[in-house]
Structures are given as structure tokens and as C-alpha cells.
Structure 1
């Protein structure tokens, strides 16, 4: 009986001492650079060039999955998981894209996702529209509380490969297609306070304008005011 008990304790201690699989960490992106114009693509024809995407080795990662999205159409290209730290993808010239890399580990179901970087694939243009503003707060679908002035703060971030953003237009409405202009801040201002009513759903978007008159639309986020 004592031998069986000792064997049970030994097996239990071995099981408890076994390390759990470590989830993969997110990789750091290298190229194409964030908010840049990529000019290194290899021309395939008049409309398409092949761009090499590169990232860094991530701890506890077995494979990497690259996802490249055409910002204008929303169409994505997702490469098969690879052990390499780069991948070549044919994409349209003169078009804005965003890209990210997902890391995986065969010993766990957990994944990690890198930052998402924006860039323009070089074309014949001499000037590029701004990248669509990224809406930060309130997050889409969030429930928010008004401040003592019965206002909420709308925050976003903007970028342009030409670095010539001039201003923004902020639209907020209870209509899913917000057309009511509530602010027109300059490039140095990326947040505004605006009055809202309690127990209502609001929709908001930001239009970015550069010095050449080019524009881009962030798309619409919504939030609910709960009190």
C-alpha cells in the first residue's frame, strides 16, 4: 500500500511540475514601413507589383500568417502559415493597404496578432490621399457615460504618406449614415468633445483632408450613451 501511495505522489508531482505550453508572442513588423509609400515592389504589369513583407522572429511562435487588406475595397489576401520571416504578395499599384501578421504555436490554441500597419503601394501618383483616420474612442459598439457637461470625447488618429494633412471633419448623428458636422479641427487636434443625449445610439466618422484637397473617410463607428 505504501509503495502504491509513493508511486501516486511521484506521478502527481511529475504532472504538476510539467511546464504548460507557452502561447506565441506577437511579432514586430519590419517592412513596408508604417504610413509610408512602398517603392520597392517588383513590377509585374501595368497595374500590379510584387511586394515583399518582412517581420521579426517572435518568441514561442511556430508559424506566421500574413494578412494584407486593400483599404479601398476591404478585400484581403491571407497567406498560408509559414515558418519564414517574409512573404511576397502581388498587390495593386497606387493603392492603400494595411497589413498584419498572426503568430501561432502548435502546442496551444492561443494566437497573437501584430500591430496593423498602413502603407501606399507606389504607382504613378505624385500625391496620395490621407490614410483613413483610425477611430479610437469610443470604440465601436461601446457603452459610454457623459461627463459633467453632458459631453463625450471623440478621439482618432490620422496619417498621410505625404505628411500633408490639413484638417479633419467630424460627423456625429443618431442616423447610421452620419452627415451632421460637429467639428472641423486642424491637423494638430485629434479629439473633440460633443454634447449627446442619454439613452441614445450615436454614429460617428472622421473625414481627413490634405493640402492637395484629397480626402479619406474613416468609416462609421457607433456607441450608446447609457447615462
Structure 2
């Protein structure tokens, strides 16, 4: 990683998938403040269009909706794509499994679809929009618990496994894209524990100072993205810029 501010200052257009979430909304706001046009994607597609903001609808379980969104961006393709989607607790309060006894194939399939397959499909349709001769970044929100090396507690089986699988996909994409897009970077980002809907069921157990506000997290993540270099392709970085072991 470097300390260069060249990348964000050169970005004309960005796409945020998951712009209605805590981190996604904060990322959107910060990029718009920089004068960058943002394609802001959410399931509803709600939002007020402006010179620097174009809302769009997409559904992680509907590839056609992602393809339609990518095609619409062809008029102003992004140099920065951030996949700010993910799920820890499913509808109905079904939370991460703390024991193998709680494993349910239907729950696992849904978690993998939202945390792994959905982002992969977004990448499938967004990568062709990335410039071949300019620096570009496609990043996805991952998690430290997706690290196999760093796993000392176990549990949270579907969530951990889906994020580990996401990290492998990002590595694969980075290797493949390096052949055609010499300046493109694919990376994963661990935002820390952010005050959002995803973390709310677990905030009562957090130590003081461990919870981060969305704007602070988004600011940290953009700083990390700004410092990425070609050597960082396929890696996962925490909000403080530290490399997370595979």
C-alpha cells in the first residue's frame, strides 16, 4: 500500500451496491462530497437523483437486475465499484450458528447466496465496465472472521465460510483481471464493527470503543482504497490498512 491520493482524485464515477445500508450510505455521501458521480444501488432503488447521484435498483438474487444496472452505467462507467452488501442475521432473527448442531442447509444456502454468489455476479457484470488503461478498483466488504488463519474461536459457520469463499473469489478475479486490466485492483475490505443493522443484534456484548460510526468507517475504507497498489491485488485489508491473513 501507498499513501497516494491520486486515485480518488481521478475518479469521475463510482458505483455502490448496497447504498442504503449504513456503510454504503456513508460511502455514497463521502464520494458525492468529493464531486464524484455515484451510481447508488439498493433493493428499492429509492433516492433523489442529482448531478452527482443516480439511484438504481438491484436484487442480489436476481442476476438480470444486476445486468440491467450495469448496462445503464455504460453511459458513465465507474472507475470505482464497491460492493457494500452482506448479511449476518437473516429475516426472522436467524443468527449465525454457534454450533455445528445448528447447521441448516437452507440457511447456509441463503447466506452463501447473499454473501458470496451475489457479489460474484455483481463482479461478473461490472468488471467489463472498468477501464483497461486507467487505474480502477473493485472492492467488496468482507470480514476478518473470513480468515482461516486467524480463526481461533470457531462458530458462525455459514458467515465465516461465505466470507472465506468471497475472499477466494476476489483473489481469483484479481488474477484473471490482471491479464487484461493492468492497472485494475480487486480487493476485500473489513470495515470493523460498525453501528449498522448488521451488527445491532450483537452490540450489547461489545467492549467500549469497539463500535464505529458509519461515516468514520467509510472514511477509513476510502483511505485504504486510495492507498492500494498493484501488489495488493486479491488481498483483504482491515479499516486501518492492515493486511488480513487468508
In the superposition, the TM-score normalised over structure 2's length comes to 0.25
From the two aligned structures, give the one with the greater helix fraction.
Answer: 2
Q: Whose relative contact order is higher, 1 or 2, with alpha carbons under 8 Å and at least 6 apart?
A: 2
From the two aligned structures, give the one with the greater strand fraction.
Answer: 1
